[in-house]
Structure 1
Amino acid sequence: MLKFYNTPKRELEDFKPIKDGEVTLYTCGPTVYSEPTIGNWTAYIYWDILVRTLETNNYKVTRTMNITDVGHLVSDEDDGEDKLEKGARREGKTAWQVADYYTDSFIKGMISLNLIKPTNLSRATDFIDQQIAIINNLSSKGFTYETSDGIYFDTSKFPKYSDFAHLNLDELKAGARVHFNPEKRNISDFALWKWSPENTKRDMEWDYLGKKGFPGWHLECSAIALNTLGDSIDIHTGGIDHIPVHHTDEIAQSECYTGKTFANYWLHCNHLTVEGKKISKSLGNGYTLKDLEEKGYSPLVYKMLTLQSHYQSGGDFSFTNLIASKKRLLHWRNIAAIRHQIKGQSEGDFPSLASKQLILEAINNNLDTPRTLSTIDQIFNEIDKKPISKINYSNLVDILEFIDQLLGLELLTTTPDISEEAKKLILIRRQARDNKDWQKSDQIRDILLQENITLKDTIEKTIWSFRE
Structure 2
Amino acid sequence: MSLQFHNQLTHRVDTFTPQIEGKVSLYTCGPTVYNYLHVGNWTAYIYWDTLIRVLQANGLRVERVMNITDVGHLVSDADEGEDKLEKGARREGKTAWDIASFYTDDFIKGMARLHLLTPQHIIKATSYITEQLELVRTLQKKGFTYQIDDGIYFDTSKFPSYGHFAGLDLDAQKAGARVEFNPQKKNPVDFALWKFTPQGETRDMEWETPIDLLEPIVADGLEYEQANKKMGFPGWHLECSAMAMTLLGKTLDIHTGGIDHIPVHHTNEIAQSEAATGVTFAHYWLHNNHLKVNGTKISKSLGNGYTLNGLGEKGYSPLDFRLFVLQRHYRSEGNFTFENLESAKNRLHNWRNSAALRHQTHDRLRDDDEKSTDDESVSLYASSQALIEAISNDLDTPAACAIIDEAFRKIDGINLEDIHQHALTSFIETVDNLLGLALFDTSKDISDDIKRLIIERERAREKKDWQAADRLRDQIEKSGVTVRDTAHGSIWEYVA
Q: TM-score per shorter chain, which class?
A: over 0.9
- C-alpha contact (below 8 Å) 1:36/1:106 kept by paired residues: yes
Where does 1:370-385 land on structure 2 (aligned, <5 Å)? 370-385=398-413
Task: Tell me the equivalent position of 2:311.
Answer: 292
Helix, strand or coil at the partner of 2:172: coil
Contact kept, 8 Å, 1:301 with 1:329, in 2: the verdict is: yes
Q: Deviations over 1:65-107 (max 9, x none)?
A: 0000000001123121000000000011100000000000000
Rate the CA distance shift 1:99–1:438 in 2: closer, same or farther, 3 A.
same
Deviation at 1:384, TM superposition (A): 0.6
Change (3 A) 1:66 1:425: same
Give 1:114-133 correspondences, 5 Å limit.
114-133=115-134
Out of 364, 370, 394, the residue aligned to residue 392 of structure 2 is: 364
Alpha carbons 1:422, 1:448 under 8 Å: kept: yes
- Whether 1:445 aligns to 2:446 is no
- Residue 406 of structure 1 corresponds to 434
Structure 2 matches for 1:37-48, cutoff 5 A? Answer: 37-48=38-49
| Contact persistence 1:27–1:237 (CA under 8 A) | yes
Structure 1 distance, partners of 2:122, 2:424, is 35
Query: 1:357 deviation in Å?
Result: 1.7
Q: Give the structure 1 partner of residue 460 of structure 2.
A: 432
Amino acid in the other structure paired with 2:233: F
3-state SS of 2:170 partner:
coil
- Contact residue 355 and residue 428 of structure 2 kept, 8 A: yes
Q: Give the match's secondary structure for 1:161.
A: coil
Contact 2:23 2:60 in 1 (8 A): yes
1:395 aligns with 2:414: no
Give the direction of change, closer, same or farther, for the CA distance of 1:339–1:65 in structure 2 (3 Å limit): same
1:348-403 deviation per Cα after TM superposition (whole angstroms, max 9, x unaligned):
23242121121112111100111110111111101114321111011110111111
1:301 pairs with 2:302: no
Instruction: Give 1:336 deviation, angstroms.
Output: 0.8
Indicate how the Cα distance of structure 1 residues 176 and 318 shifts in structure 2: closer, same or farther if over 3 A, else same: farther
Picking from 296, 310, 314, the partner of 2:329 is 310
Residue 269 of structure 1 and its aligned partner are, at CA, apart by: 0.6
* Secondary structure class of the residue paired with 2:115: coil
Match of 2:301, SS state, is helix
Query: What letter matches 2:400 in structure 1?
Result: T
Question: Tell me, what secondary structure is at the counterpart of 1:268?
Answer: strand
Deviation at 1:181, TM superposition (A): 1.4
SS state at 1:312 partner = coil
Q: Percent identity?
A: 56
Question: What is the CA–CA distance in structure 1 between the aligned matches of 2:286 and 2:40, rounded to whole Å?
Answer: 17
Q: Which protein is bigger by CA-based radius of gyration?
A: 2
Rounded Cα–Cα distance in structure 1 between residues aligned with 2:481 and 2:344: 20
Cα drift, residue 275 of structure 1? 1.1
CA distance in 2, matches of 1:417, 1:244: 51
TM-score (norm 1): 0.98
Q: Which range is displaced more, 342-351 or 183-192?
A: 342-351
Matched, 1:324 2:343: yes
Instruction: Give the TM-score normalised by structure 2.
Output: 0.92
Q: Deviations over 1:202-224 (max 9, x none)?
A: 00000112310000000000011
Aligned residues: 468
Q: Cα offset for 1:174?
A: 7.3
- The one-letter amino acid paired with 1:164 is F
Corresponding letter in the other structure for 1:375: I
Q: Structure 1 stretches of 5 or more lacking a match?
A: none
Distance change in 2, residues 1:344/1:140 (3 Å): same
CA positional deviation for 1:8: 1.9
3-state DSSP of counterpart to 2:320? helix
> 2:192 aligns to what?
191
Aligned to 1:461: 489
**CA shift at 1:420, angstroms?**
1.1
Aligned to 1:237: 256
1:159 alignment counterpart: 160
Unaligned runs of 5+ in 2: 212-228, 367-372
Contact 1:336 1:411 in 2 (8 A): yes
Choose which of 253, 278, 283 in structure 2 pairs with 1:264: 283
Q: Please give the per-residue CA displacement for 1:393-423, whole angstroms capped at 9, x wherever unaligned.
A: 1111011111100000000011111111111
Whether the aligned pair in 2 keeps the contact of 1:274 and 1:317 (CA below 8 Å) is: yes
Q: Distance in 2 between matches of 1:259 and 1:44?
A: 30
Q: Which runs of 4+ in 1 moved over 4 A?
A: 173-179
How far does residue 459 in structure 1 lie from its aligned partner after superposition?
4.4
Task: Find the residue that maps to 1:16 and give its secondary structure.
Answer: coil
Q: Which residue of 1 aligns with 2:214?
A: none
Q: Distance in 1 between matches of 2:161 and 2:473?
A: 70
| CA distance in 1: counterparts of 2:261 and 2:325, whole angstroms | 20
